[in-house]
Chains A and B, each alone.
Chain A
Amino acid sequence: MDYFFTEEQEMIRDLCRQIAEERIKPVRAELDEKEEFPREIMKALAQADLFQIIIPEEYGGLGGGCLENCIAVEELSRACCGVSTSYAASFLGAYPMLLFGNEAQKEKYLPLIGSGEKLCAFALTESSSGSDAGSIQTEAKKDGDSYVLNGSKQWITNGGEAGVYTVIAITDRSKGARGATAFIVEADDPGFSIGKKEIKMGIRASATAELIFKDCRIPADRVLGKEGLGFVVAMRTFDKSRPGVGAQAVGVAQGALDEAAAFARVRKQFGKPIITFQAVAHMLADMAVDIEAGRALVYAAARYIDSGAKDFSKVSAIAKVFPTDMAMRVTTNAVQVLGGHGYMREYPVEKMMRDAKILQIYEGTNQIQRNVIGQELNKEYGRKK
């Protein structure tokens, strides 16, 4: 289907597809097997200017929006969600600076992130605070011209690989939802270290680690926005980034259909290619229907957000829930179409199925997304009366 991309958007798609084919596909199984961070690929993505996509032009970037980000992420995910997660997490860390950073912060950090010289990361989750973000324990205390951070963050994508982190910490517990603040932390800040590195089911090329803050002292000018805006920063960031998770889902699902359809044409049983069995063909057809619906939704949501829309939490949640549930269905069915071959590591679909699962969990579980959508519906229909 033609989604009427601009020339620039087509360029992004084609370049990402080229890198996915030439650089990612040949090594994805090995990266998965060894649980190895794709440093060489990150370097290639940087050389291709792909970290510049959402960075404004005044900071040396390409000034793209949510749609450009989704196009890139979809293509990379078609080959490997572990790689695309590492890539997209850098933007997840950068969005708070884009949205809330002051001039000096933008000037200092955006060019570094855009050039790919430094990867970025976003740290909210803690061991006892997942969906319930309000319950985070990490504290930041003002001390003269600096803040001192204590606590730890869990399961942070790009942890240990990133040079710059956006960290949400409590500055005033008595203020509840207004008691958290977003900070920029640099990898070599004193008192900052990397703890446990996780071993995962999927997206194994991506790095997931614990961040430890032990009397971590940072200058006071690292506050994003102002004190008390921490959760606002987090929510606005997720609103912008969630369609990107939807795009990952569309990509991995497309990758799975590519494999399943090709396999079904060549695998013969009962003397015929299995694609000629209606049960198999219908499975493939349902996958294609699902994927196109997900893709159309992601692009439409991204375009809506890029149009300057004000309140898009619901749209953004919708553009995460449907595609990610869809990708789980599609990748599971792709394994089914390949049968026993699909279950084997030699074929890429079992990895895709493992990878797809995370998309229903991170950046807010799909249950939490439904909570968001439900709350918005409650508000909307309350107003209509």
Chain B
Amino acid sequence: MKIAVCIKQVPDTANVKLDPETHTLKREGVESIVNPFDLFALEAALRIKEAAGGEIVAVTMGPPQAETVIKDAIGFGVDEGLLLSDRAFAGADTWATTAALAKAIEGLGDVDLVICGKQAVDGDTAQVGPGIAQRLGLPHVAFVKGFREIEDKRLVVERQMDDGYDVVELPLPALITVVREVGEPRPPSLKGKMRAKKYTVPMQGAADLGLEADQVGLAGSFTQVVKVFAPSHSGERRRLEGSEDEMGAQVIDALVDNQVIMLGS
């Protein structure tokens, strides 16, 4: 089975700075890591490979230094990596991001399964996985938490829901996004880390993918970041006093008065 795993480089801390001019994230100077959810995507891929054999390719789109997440992936035991990097990719929204990722996955040839993390901890939209599936015309299941059956042309997965989980069968090729419950990421391996040191990460730009400049990056995006700010907490504050029961009653009164909740008929 050939598996493509999409991994994103994200800033390590909550301590992210914004560029005051462009209102975008300032990625330079902040330590970067593999998006934590993408570690679960890698773990899922490695387990499927253990069960069914095959090959895993890790793909990332990002600035040149995002090559480190590909090397990290090699350290975990992934077979190959691919970095999509191009000035033209800058400012991409989820739509433009999926344009590049989908083309790259297509270019890998005969991919049976694409695995994404549930969401990126910085962008947080959870749109990229389904977006890639849409562009590639693949069926997709989001929030996969476990595998029941793994076959050449078919997967049976458990999809996490708020109140339990669904069991979903899907034909391959397909795309899934995974959640934490899929399995604790293994540690990197010594052989993998040694290979990663020597590994030259292949890089492709928009032209290599056969994409025009207006299909990617800011130009290919439907959305633009106009302003990023921390919302100010300007609401009224009130301190409640009394016994727990009294305070509870006051909270409910306030919620009802402000039409936040409605009491049942």
* Residues of A near any B CB (own CB < 8 A): 7-8, 11-12, 15, 18-19, 22-23, 44, 47-50, 52-53, 62
Contacts and interface: CB of A to CB of B under 8 A. Distances in A.
B189 interface: yes
A62 B190 contact: yes
Most chain A CB within 10 A, of B187, B191, B194, is at B187
A44 B191 contact: no
Contacts of B49: none
A11 B77 CA distance: 16
Given A11-B194, A15-B187, A48-B190, 15 more contacts: A11-B190, A12-B190, A15-B188, A15-B193, A18-B187, A22-B187, A44-B187, A47-B77, A48-B186, A48-B187, A48-B189, A49-B189, A50-B190, A52-B191, A62-B190
Interface string B181-214: 0000011111111100100000000000000000
A221 to B, nearest CB: 30
B187 A47 contact: yes
Most chain A CB within 10 A, of B188, B189, B190, is at B190
| 3 tightest A-B CB contacts, nearest first | A49-B190, A47-B186, A49-B189
A52 B192 CA distance: 13
A48 B186 CA distance: 8
A44 B190 contact: no
B15 to A, nearest CB: 22
A8 B187 contact: no
Contacts of B194: 8, 11
A18 B185 CA distance: 13
A49 B186 contact: no
22 contacts: A7-B197, A8-B194, A11-B190, A11-B194, A15-B187, A15-B190, A15-B193, A23-B187, A44-B186, A47-B186, A47-B187, A48-B186, A48-B187, A48-B188, A48-B190, A49-B189, A49-B191, A49-B192, A52-B190, A52-B191, A62-B190, A62-B191
B191 A19 contact: no
A7 B196 CA distance: 13
Interface string B163-194: 00000000000000000000000111111111
Interface residues of B, number: 11
B180 to A, nearest CB: 15
A49 to B, nearest CB: 4
Nearest to A8: B194
Contacts of A53: 190
A126 B24 CA distance: 70
Contacts of A8: 194
A70 to B, nearest CB: 16
Contacts of B188: 15, 48
A11 B193 contact: yes
Interface string B245-258: 00000000000000
Contacts of A62: 190-191
A52 B191 CA distance: 9
A53 B190 CA distance: 9
A62 B194 CA distance: 10
Contacts of A23: 187
A101 B235 CA distance: 77
A23 B187 CA distance: 9
Nearest to A40: B184
Nearest to A62: B190
Contacts of A11: 190, 193-194
A22 B187 CA distance: 9
Contacts of A12: 190
B6 to A, nearest CB: 22
B74 to A, nearest CB: 14
Nearest to A60: B191
Contacts of A44: 186-187
B233 to A, nearest CB: 34
Nearest to B76: A47
A62 B193 CA distance: 12
B50 to A, nearest CB: 10
Contacts of B191: 49, 52, 62
A12 B194 CA distance: 10
A50 B187 CA distance: 11
A23 B186 CA distance: 10
Interface in B34-79: 77
A23 B188 CA distance: 13
A7 to B, nearest CB: 8
B189 A47 contact: yes
B61 to A, nearest CB: 27
A301 to B, nearest CB: 23
A22 B197 CA distance: 23
B190 to A, nearest CB: 4
B138 to A, nearest CB: 30
Nearest to A72: B190
Interface in B91-108: none
Contacts of A22: 187
Nearest to B197: A7
A23 B184 CA distance: 11
B68 to A, nearest CB: 15
B133 to A, nearest CB: 30
Nearest to A53: B190
B199 to A, nearest CB: 14
Contacts of A52: 190-191
A18 B186 CA distance: 11
A78 B189 CA distance: 20
Nearest to A50: B190
